[in-house]
Structures are given as structure tokens and as C-alpha cells.
């Protein structure tokens, strides 16, 4: 059945798309279950349901060749043990012309993936962060590596320049987090702003995209660890994706907790996001071949 995954994109030992699962949810703060996310997301990309064309009629099977690197072992491991495995896997497979897709896991795995790509590439890039929450706490529940601290850790450790961080869909901030964003030049586009303005201005040459599934309203994506009403519709999120005109060097889908889902809705939304991001990334990378 593997040949039917990822919308029928061919598997290859010379890939330009790598897939790596990071089934970690020990950093979650409300309800756990995101460790089951990678398996569900993979299954939701089945070619039994989806063809390989994006909405813009880009044939993903003509642009991408993928290799699934499986899942990093997380059972009984520490957060930094898992990072070392992610770092090693990315370093061994990194190619500048290839794209990485990481399947979470709670949002703390973005610390691993972004830091690993930065180390492997030795190049600067921005971070476009789709989330209901800004994840800018200094610490949460006593942990500096909670999923509520991800962006702050990446900024304070110098992995990303805060002026190249754009957060989209935020609607559950705190005063402390907004002050940190303002002091450091992090751009926040709230869910409310997105509904008031049809255009999103994103000026980054290269960027990593991170999709916390709770950026969506629970009506569209109930299977998440920290549901926050008042969010984006699936269509609104896709319209924002279509406006991103930057080289995408990697992306992740996180916080999908299948046991809280209803009839697979959230998994299929995750698959839709992946398909359209691959189209956006492919159009930028291979526009002459489309």
C-alpha cells in the first residue's frame, strides 16, 4: 500500500522530498495523543482518495520523488535524545535542492526540525508559523522546551532571526508573549486580521513553514491537543498558503491528535495542507517545468 501514499508521488532512492515522523508528545500541556499523528497523516494522503493534482493543476507526481525515512524513536527518550536522532537523520540526507516534510508530534518537534535544518544547511531562513498560540513563553509548566515555548527557544538560541519570524492565525496570546514579540520584531498576524484583510504580506527569500493544526477552528479540525475556537477555516488557511511566494526549504504538520478527531476529518485536512504546500514549493523550485 506504500505506493499509494502521498498522493501517488513516486518513491525514490534519489529523492527531492524527504518525509520524517517525530511521534513525540511528552511536551504537550493539555491533552496528549499527537504521538499518533505521523501514522494518521501518512494514511490520510492515500492515493485511493486523492489524485496527484493540486487545485492549481500542478501534478505533484511529475515534480516530486519522495523517500520516507520512517519515524524517529521517542519511547523512553529525552527531548534532547530525540533531537540528536533528528539532527543525525537530517544531516545524513540533506540536499540543498530537496525539501523536508516532518510529521509531528506536538509543536515542540519544530525546535528539532528547524534547528537540524539550520545546522545541516548552515544557511539562514525565516519561519512562517501557523498556530492559534504564539508559543513565546519563556517556560511553561516548568519546562523551557514545552510546546508553548518553541519560537522563543529558536529565537533566543539564535537559530532564527526574530525579524524573519511571521506568526499567522494567532488568537490565544498573553500580554507577556505579545511584549516579547514586539520587543524582538516578530510579526504576528492574528486570526481576526486575516478575516479583515484578504492579503497577507510575506517578504522572505527562504522560509520553513510550520502548521499547528489548531490554527484551524475546531469545527474544521477537531482532532488537536489544544483546540481554540474562533480560528481559520480550511479555505482561509489555503488562501494564505497560496499567497506565500518564497522558497520553502522545509515544513511540518503538528499537533494532530487522532483520538480526538471525528471520522478522520483532521487527518484529511492535514493531507490537503500537505498537497497544496507541495504544489506551492514545487512551483517555486521547478516553475520552468510546469
Give the span between the Cα atoms of 279 and 276, in whole angstroms. Answer: 5
**Helix, strand, coil proportions of the chain in percent (round to 5)?**
40, 20, 40
17 touches 278 (CB < 8 A): yes
CB burial string 3-32: b at 16+ within 10 A, e below: eebbbbbeeeeebbbbbbbbbbbbbbbeee
Q: Tell me, yes or no, if the pTM score tops 0.75.
A: yes
* Residue 2 marked in a binding site: no
Q: Annotated binding residue at 135?
A: yes
* Residue 147 annotated in ligand binding: no
The reply to whether 214 sits in an annotated binding site is yes
Residue 106 labeled ligand binder: no
- pLDDT tens track of the chain, all 290 residues? 455 899 999 999 999 999 999 999 887 767 778 899 999 999 999 998 999 999 999 999 999 999 999 999 999 999 999 999 999 999 999 999 999 999 999 999 999 999 999 999 999 999 999 999 999 999 988 889 899 999 999 999 999 999 999 999 999 999 999 999 999 999 999 999 999 987 787 889 999 999 999 999 999 999 999 999 999 999 999 999 999 989 999 999 999 999 999 999 999 999 999 999 999 999 766 653 43
161 is in an annotated binding site: no
Q: For domain 2-289, give the CATH superfamily.
A: Ureohydrolase domain (3.40.800.10)
Give the CA angle between residues 167, 173, 174 to the nearest 5°: 135
Amino acid at each position: 500500500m506504500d505506493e499509494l501514499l502521498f498522493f501517488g508521488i513516486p518513491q525514490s532512492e534519489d529523492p527531492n522530498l524527504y518525509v520524517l515522523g517525530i511521534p513525540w508528545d511528552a511536551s504537550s500541556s493539555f491533552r496528549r495523543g499527537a504521538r499518533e499523528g505521523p501514522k494518521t497523516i501518512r494514511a490520510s494522503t492515500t492515493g485511493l482518495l486523492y489524485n496527484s493534482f493540486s487545485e492549481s493543476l500542478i501534478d505533484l507526481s511529475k515534480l516530486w520523488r519522495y523517500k520516507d525515512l520512517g519515524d524517529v524513536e521517542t519511547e523512553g527518550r529525552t527531548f534532547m535524545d530525540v533531537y540528536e536522532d533528528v539532527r543525525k537523520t537530517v544531516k545524513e540526507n540533506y540536499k540543498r535542492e530537496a525539501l523536508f516534510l516532518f510529521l509531528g508530534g506536538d509543536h515542540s518537534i519544530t525546535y528539532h526540525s528547524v534547528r537540524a535544518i539550520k545546522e545541516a544547511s548552515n544557511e539562514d531562513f525565516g519561519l512562517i508559523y501557523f498556530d492559534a498560540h504564539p508559543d513565546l513563553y519563556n517556560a511553561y509548566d516548568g519546562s523551557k522546551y514545552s510546546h508553548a515555548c518553541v519560537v522563543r527557544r529558536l529565537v533566543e538560541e539564535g537559530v532564527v532571526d526574530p525579524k524573519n519570524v511571521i506568526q499567522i492565525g494567532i488568537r490565544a496570546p498573553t500580554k507577556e508573549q505579545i511584549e516579547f514579540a514586539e520587543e524582538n520584531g516578530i510579526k504576528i498576524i492574528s486570526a481576526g486580521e486575516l478575516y479583515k484583510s484578504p492579503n497577507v504580506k510575506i517578504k522572505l527569500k527562504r522560509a520553513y513553514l510550520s502548521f499547528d493544526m489548531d490554527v484551524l477552528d475546531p469545527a474544521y479540525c477537531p482532532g488537536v491537543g489544544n483546540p481554540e475556537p474562533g480560528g481559520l477555516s480550511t479555505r482561509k488557511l489555503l488562501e494564505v498558503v497560496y499567497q506565500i511566494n518564497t522558497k520553502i526549504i522545509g515544513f511540518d504538520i503538528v499537533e494532530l491528535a487522532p483520538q480526538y478527531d471525528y471520522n478522520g476529518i483532521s487527518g484529511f485536512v492535514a493531507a490537503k495542507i500537505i498537497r497544496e504546500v507541495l504544489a506551492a514549493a514545487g512551483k517555486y523550485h521547478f516553475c520552468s517545468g510546469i
